[in-house]
Structure 1
Amino acid sequence: MSNKVYEDILYNEDKKNKFLSQYNKQTQTIYRQSFIQSRLEEERLEKDLGEFNLSEIEELMYAFNPLTIAASKARASVIRTYIDWYISNGYMEKAQTNINPMSTIDAETWYEKFVNKEEVLYYSEEQIRAAVDNAVNYQDKAIIQLLFEGAAGKWLSELRNLKEEDIDWDNSILTLYDSDEGIRNEETKRLFFASDKLMSILEKAIAEKEYQKKNGTTEARNPVSDLLENGYVLKPARTRNEYEERIEQHVIYRRLSVLAELYDMPYLRAKNITRSGMLWMAKQILDRDGVLEKPQYIEIADKFNISFVTIGKTTMRSWVPLKQFINIESLNRIYG
């Protein structure tokens, strides 16, 4: 179901729109996507999603094809919320009970069983290395390698804020800054140890003056764009808006999207590259220590600057959520 393009049509559209009207536009967009995809099941069963029984809900959940437990829970939450609303508004016509069939579901295993574990969201070190090596622009190589080694920040600010002056060439150390409303935040400053490969890429990215469109494969009349020398490592293409101080987040996303399509790597996205780097680091740590436990997860969290959490009087990296995707099973799927 997830690979098909659907018309933006809802089953019982008046009811669905009335339900959606309670929410802001962002939430409406998220919920509407689930309703667009539920339409085929509703048409097949000839009844509204609000009247689905548990077995019918489970069939729909499998059809959603979630790739993570979080995605599975999000889809289930939409269904549960809609059915509650449907019942409370007196629409239950065909069902034999006014009790939400999802009201008793709380086991993690229920959500987990719908997750497509055959689809691999993350890439091996070899695949990422190939993606970097096959990029013709050092600007693009730098984006992928920075993310893979652990630089990111809010709105990718650690990448976007990086200047040549932040690079200690002798010791292979970068000084990274996150952002607060587009301004380099001194309180977020951290030292980041870079690989020799990343240092070499950054040097060439800084020297790069032109950007080859579509990784050098475009047939456009102007296949190359001049890069704007803005004092940052990552540079936007030169346009009329030459006042632009640093590259915009959406430009990074667009560059990755082009490479993802050319490489046939649909999950070559910023978050997934970062998590692929975490998994590679986890593999190296597992080979070194033989275990993946709290100290090892905290080591990964430190490198990738995972946020802190305070529990009682103790403040530490929020390492527990990493276990959801960094585990022996996921490492075996990627690295065998």
Structure 2
Amino acid sequence: MAKLYNNEMKEAFLRHLEKTHNEETAKVYMYSLKRAKEMEEFLNKDLSTFTEKQILEVIMAGDHASETAARSVLTHLRSYINWAIVNGLTSSNINMADRITTDHLKTAIGHNKKFHITEKDLIELENNLVNAQDKVVVRLIFEGVFGKQFAEIRNLKKDDIDTTNNSILLTDLKNEQRNLKVSSTCIKVIKDALDQENYEYNNGKSTTSVKDAPLLDNGFVIRQKLAGRNREGSNEPIPSFHIYRIFDVLKTVTNNPYLDPNKVRQSGQLYCGYKHLMDGGTLDNDFYDKLSDRFNISKRQNFHKLKNEVNEESINSLYSIKENHPS
């Protein structure tokens, strides 16, 4: 079983489900609890202590195609929180998931569909970001770089960049590696990120006396700021929560509070589908195989999910392919 945040407590809940229901039910609930893991790690607290807004953000991050799917996850999260309350494992006796209404779920689904970005949106976003350190994260994710806990992004070093062949060597959390062909734009943004010496706070609009901070020169593409208590830095990759902090900047610049790493990743997948259709291709199994390889998606676990998310209807809603599709 994959490790969850506060794993011992989560496993106790899943064992309870196996006894009161069955093993398959426990597996379904486990997948919903996995959705909360990244935010639990970022906030450094268990799901049972989440606010109403934080629970809703977990549901929204799943990018559900329907209200029914979102409601199912809400039911699972609510059950876990109830179990924690009944067993005295959380400081509150109020289940904040009970406050999430049907209207909340409808809003969440609407935002998920609305806030994918096109390549044109991406370029506009890059043009509005003053720090290459921010630009490179969103560009890498859009083109297929990700990994568990963003390991492929965090581990990327100067020596991994092949500028001659527009290729980058990616290393995941288990130190497994793969090569990925990227665009010339991506290579340029990577170079700019490597060349950046100082990070400008608040996208160059800081209202405090401290406007910027030097960046550690340690060979990584995404680097730590030498500020506050961290004035020496380290030769380790940046922590995963650093990526979420960058997205806080992106949300402000785009005035889109729902933009997150998964949305950008899915946007990149939709763009690949759009390009393939514009080249006269069809969304067949060969296309999905190549898309899975590019975005390093498990064909065994997530292949059908990918097919459901990247289809002509979803691509058309973003790119109007009906107007542009070659006859």
Q: TM-score with structure 1 length normalisation?
A: 0.65
**1:201-238 CA deviation, whole Å, 9 max, x = no partner?**
11111111000111101111011110011110111101
Match of 1:129 among 107, 114, 123: 123
Q: Is the contact between residue 125 and residue 253 of structure 2 (CA under 8 Å) also seen in structure 1?
A: no
Matched, 1:224 2:215: no
Q: Is the contact between residue 67 and residue 117 of structure 1 (CA under 8 Å) also seen in structure 2?
A: no
Question: Which protein is bigger by CA-based radius of gyration?
Answer: 1
Letter matched to residue 311 of structure 2 = N
Change (3 A) 1:335 1:171: same
Matched, 1:28 2:51: no
**1:57-112 CA deviation, whole Å, 9 max, x = no partner?**
xxxxxxx9x9624423212445688999xxxxxxxxxxxxxxxxxxxxxxxxxxx9
**1:143-162 CA deviation, whole Å, 9 max, x = no partner?**
11100000011111111101
1:235 corresponds to:
223
Matched, 1:321 2:305: yes
2:294 corresponds to:
303
How far, CA to CA, are the matches of 1:302 and 1:176 in structure 2?
13
Q: How does 1:181-330 map to 2 (within 5 A)?
A: 185=175, 188-238=176-226, 239-243=230-234, 245-309=236-300, 318-330=302-314
How far, CA to CA, are the matches of 1:113 and 1:222 in structure 2?
42
Q: Is the contact between residue 143 and residue 182 of structure 2 (CA under 8 Å) also seen in structure 1?
A: yes
2:71 corresponds to:
72
Q: Is the contact between residue 155 and residue 249 of structure 1 (CA under 8 Å) also seen in structure 2?
A: yes
Unaligned ranges ≥5, structure 2: 1-12, 18-32, 34-44, 84-104, 321-327
Query: In the comparison of the two structures, how many residue pairs are matched?
Result: 249
How far, CA to CA, are the matches of 1:251 and 1:82 in structure 2?
28
How far, CA to CA, are the matches of 2:262 and 2:109 in structure 1?
19
Unaligned ranges ≥5, structure 1: 1-18, 38-63, 85-111, 310-316
Q: CA deviation at 1:326?
A: 1.3
Letter matched to residue 28 of structure 1 = S
Letter matched to residue 194 of structure 2 = I
Tell me, what secondary structure is at the counterpart of 1:332? helix
How far, CA to CA, are the matches of 1:114 and 1:263 in structure 2?
19
How far, CA to CA, are the matches of 2:52 and 2:185 in structure 1?
41
Identity %: 30
**1:24-71 CA deviation, whole Å, 9 max, x = no partner?**
9735246x749x99xxxxxxxxxxxxxxxxxxxxxxxxxx9x962442
Q: Is the contact between residue 223 and residue 238 of structure 2 (CA under 8 Å) also seen in structure 1?
A: yes
Backbone CA RMSD of aligned residues = 3.3
Letter matched to residue 173 of structure 2 = S
Letter matched to residue 209 of structure 1 = E
Letter matched to residue 222 of structure 2 = L
2:94 corresponds to:
none
Letter matched to residue 146 of structure 1 = L
Change (3 A) 1:284 1:72: farther
Query: Relative to total residues, which structure has the larger helix share, 1 or 2?
Result: 2
1:87 corresponds to:
none
1:58 corresponds to:
none
Q: Is the contact between residue 72 and residue 115 of structure 1 (CA under 8 Å) also seen in structure 2?
A: no
How far, CA to CA, are the matches of 1:266 and 1:246 in structure 2?
27
Change (3 A) 1:138 1:121: same
Matched, 1:141 2:161: no
How far, CA to CA, are the matches of 2:271 and 2:170 in structure 1?
22
Tell me, what secondary structure is at the counterpart of 1:319? helix
Q: Is the contact between residue 230 and residue 246 of structure 1 (CA under 8 Å) also seen in structure 2?
A: no
Q: Is the contact between residue 224 and residue 233 of structure 2 (CA under 8 Å) also seen in structure 1?
A: no
How far, CA to CA, are the matches of 1:200 and 1:329 in structure 2?
33
**1:157-195 CA deviation, whole Å, 9 max, x = no partner?**
111101111111211110100013xxxx1xx21011011
How far, CA to CA, are the matches of 1:193 and 1:319 in structure 2?
22
